């Protein structure tokens, strides 16, 4: 049985790499032609759907609001598992990631990630400041953002989240665009931090109704941050109770 699990893990890693190499020429389009930034979200979605499909993972995307065709959003999901990033690739609304710069170290993939998304070195105040500036600029360019507000997989007691950081909420308020809380309830069970052998279970992601920021000021960052936290926390508990 252990041999089968390791074989499946190797297959998943191999599949991820092969799909990346196949799609890389298409990812070069939004890298070269900046006005084609929407391709990033489309390609992420194609990649994620094929990846999970070929892994025989059943997945469900639950969108609890009707997106505005002219609206912009900042998506804030909980983060307990390495599966969370490809899971957010399923986002039906084209978006780019704002995340740690660790992925830049991966050959070729890191180059693509750095060119299309916004990276941050959590140990550098200068990098954190640059990330805020780049995020504000990305919103001005019409992009939607995906930001893990915990700042990484930091909790030691999933599904209990750690305190959210302010960045996503500052950007949302400064640009007066909604925050969308996102709950990923089961990935920490499917692929716990430190494990490379996934368990079979429904992979689910829930996009909650947006929290409006119009009229809010930076003095409201803490309130918005706490409200987002509570929505995700309550949904995590509800999903676990029901399943």
CA angle 6, 155, 188 (to 5 degrees): 40
Secondary structure element (H or E) that encloses residue 26, with its range: helix 2-32
The whole-chain average pLDDT of the chain stands at: 95
Q: Phi-psi category of 56—alpha, beta or left, where left has phi over 0 and alpha has psi -120 to 50? A: left
Distance CA 70, CA 59 (A): 28
Q: 57: domain CATH number?
A: 3.40.1130.10
Domain total of the chain: 1
Residue 10's domain comprises: 2-242
* pLDDT bucket at 195, cuts 50 / 70 / 90: confident
Would you say residue 4 has pLDDT above 80? no
Strands (E), the chain: 59-63, 74-77, 96-100, 118-120, 145-147, 179-183, 203-207
The structure's pTM equals 0.96
* pLDDT bucket at 1, cuts 50 / 70 / 90: low
Average pLDDT over residues 72-94: 97
Determine the pLDDT at residue 103.
85
Determine the pLDDT at residue 64.
98
Distance CA 228, CA 210 (A): 10
pLDDT tens-digit map of 107-166:
999 999 999 999 999 889 899 999 999 999 999 999 999 999 999 999 999 999 999 999
């Amino acid at each position: 049985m252990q041999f089968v699990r390791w074989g499946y893990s190797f297959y998943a890693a191999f599949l991820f790499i092969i799909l990346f190499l196949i799609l890389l020429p298409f990812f070069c389009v939004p890298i070269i032609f900046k006005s084609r930034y929407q391709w990033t979200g489309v390609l992420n979605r194609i990649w994620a759907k094929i990846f999970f499909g070929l892994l025989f993972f059943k997945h469900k995307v639950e969108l609890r609001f009707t997106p505005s065709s002219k609206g912009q959003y900042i998506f804030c999901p909980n983060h307990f598992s390495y599966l969370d990033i490809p899971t957010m690739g399923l986002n039906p609304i084209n978006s780019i990631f704002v995340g740690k710069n660790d992925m830049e170290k991966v050959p070729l993939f890191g180059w693509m990630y750095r060119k299309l998304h916004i990276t941050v070195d959590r140990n550098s105040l200068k990098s954190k400041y640059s990330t805020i500036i780049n995020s504000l600029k990305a919103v001005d360019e019409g992009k939607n953002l995906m930001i893990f507000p915990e700042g990484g997989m930091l909790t030691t007691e999933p599904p209990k989240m750690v305190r959210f950081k302010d960045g996503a909420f500052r950007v949302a308020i400064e640009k007066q665009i909604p925050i969308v809380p996102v709950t990923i309830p089961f990935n920490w069970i499917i692929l716990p931090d430190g494990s490379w052998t996934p368990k079979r279970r429904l992979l689910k992601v829930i996009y909650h109704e947006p929290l409006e920021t119009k009229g809010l000021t930076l003095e409201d960052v803490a309130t918005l941050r706490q409200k987002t936290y509570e929505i995700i926390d309550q949904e995590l508990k509800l999903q676990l109770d029901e399943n």
